[in-house]
A and B are shown apart, each in its own frame.
Chain A
């Protein structure tokens, strides 16, 4: 039987990658991702994981090496954070458009300058349009479960897309939590061997990452887009299958006491845990509030979001990234766009907060909800509110 064991989340990720029997890990250490790749390096060095560990000279090289490994049909894993993710940026597009099922843990970290090693979602948001499937997680168990699901989804021959599993830097990565790691014999039937359909193979040569002149480029991009959209069915199916086997269910948009709620709060990542506690407190005080947690950022679950907010009067979205010069935080802009043509929609209020590791406490969430409700009634001269900035 799988045991519930207290361990650091980064170490648990390493253990899960081992149980998923990754073939190649190419990574460059960066705070707060370091403990993940250190643990994997140890597992490879002491023979517990039979994999190639490639200690590259930069994140750009890490992702490039992952492309080669994945193209050869290897189960490929890497992890990064913040600036490291940005240094990979151009290669991220190549991974998704070449349909290479790389799995990457992204330990969310604010971007420089000023230099910050602490968490927010600006690194993830900068990668919004790279064509990767992007899953957000709240705690250690969710990360570990979704790393396992990510290999299965990415390598499914109907999908064949790279996946980022996001976890908040320090708030999740460095915390010691009770985590259930499944037994190896439970994992094997859930995660079949990687069977990339057209791997690099000298006896059946193919050309990858070729030149695409104007007569073909649009067709290649549309094929990629259609594939990413269709992957939603497989993602939902794999999560369902995972839940049936392991008892923990994941959905593109998750609900917490939201069914009859007039006011909905929407969060992503580890802050959802605090938000749930805040919702409980407000419910106990008789206020009709609920929480939506956006788990799947790409492909964006438009229909699920539309359905989830259909009965609410107000929707308060907390972004943990700025879209400089933009209308709202990036998540709120997406949600507004998704709802614009809907006949019945809640009033939407956009907050940005929790930047560069600043905490949002239970009281802060209560304040955000109260302020958000006030804005739905009286309006605001701002497109969005920045929470907690000192005037």
Chain B
């Protein structure tokens, strides 16, 4: 299904809701489950990548400067990265 999630009609559903296309979970916006978001103070970051390894959502990527940063489309705000970061780069802030 190459349509956006809110454009899929019942007629587009495969037999038995079978998923024929690999990787379509990437369309699924888990970011709107979040009540807190990670915020970064990269001056303390040692680029150890522990946050990326621990993130259960697999949504932390390296940015152009080599720092590890979440993708808010998927981040569920669980706070595991903030808890595991050895140098306390990450703090969880309430979403407005």
Residue ranges of A at the interface with B (Cβ–Cβ < 8 Å) = 97-100, 160, 197-198, 205-210, 212-213, 215-216, 218-220, 222-223, 226
Contacts and interface: CB of A to CB of B under 8 A. Distances in A.
Query: Size class of B's contact patch?
Result: 10 to 19
A352 B3 CA distance: 51
Contact of B17 (A205, A210, A226): A210
A100 B20 CA distance: 16
B5 interface: yes
Contacts of A100: 16
Nearest to A98: B16
B15 A197 contact: yes
B8 A208 contact: no
A208 B22 contact: no
Contact of A223 (B5, B6, B13, B22): B13
6 contacts: A97-B17, A205-B22, A210-B18, A215-B8, A216-B5, A223-B13
Contacts of A98: 16-18
A198 B10 contact: no
A128 B73 CA distance: 41
Interface string B1-37: 0000110111111111111101000001000000000
Contact of B16 (A99, A205, A222): A99
Nearest to B30: A213
A160 B15 contact: yes
Given A215-B6, A223-B10, A206 B15 contact: no
Given A205-B22, A213-B28, A219 B16 contact: no
Nearest to A94: B16
B17 A198 contact: no
Contacts of A223: 10-11, 13, 17
A97 B81 CA distance: 38
Nearest to A213: B28
Contacts of B20: 198, 206
A206 B17 CA distance: 10
A222 B13 CA distance: 10
B5 A208 contact: no
A252 to B, nearest CB: 24
B17 A212 contact: yes
A149 to B, nearest CB: 21
B62 to A, nearest CB: 29
Given A222-B10, A223-B10, A97 B5 contact: no
Contacts of B16: 97-100, 160, 198, 208
A211 to B, nearest CB: 8
Interface string B57-91: 00000000000000000000000000000000000
Q: Which of A216, A218, A222 has the most CB of B within 10 A?
A: A216
A198 B5 contact: no
A100 B13 CA distance: 15
Contacts of A220: 10, 13, 17
A199 to B, nearest CB: 10
A198 B19 contact: no
Q: Which of B9, B16, B20, B22 has the most CB of A within 10 A?
A: B16
Contacts of A197: 15
Given A198-B20, A213-B28, A226 B10 contact: yes
Contacts of B17: 97-98, 209-210, 212, 216, 220, 223
A226 B9 CA distance: 13
Contact of A219 (B9, B19, B22): B9
Contacts of B11: 223
A206 B18 contact: yes
A250 to B, nearest CB: 26
A13 B69 CA distance: 64
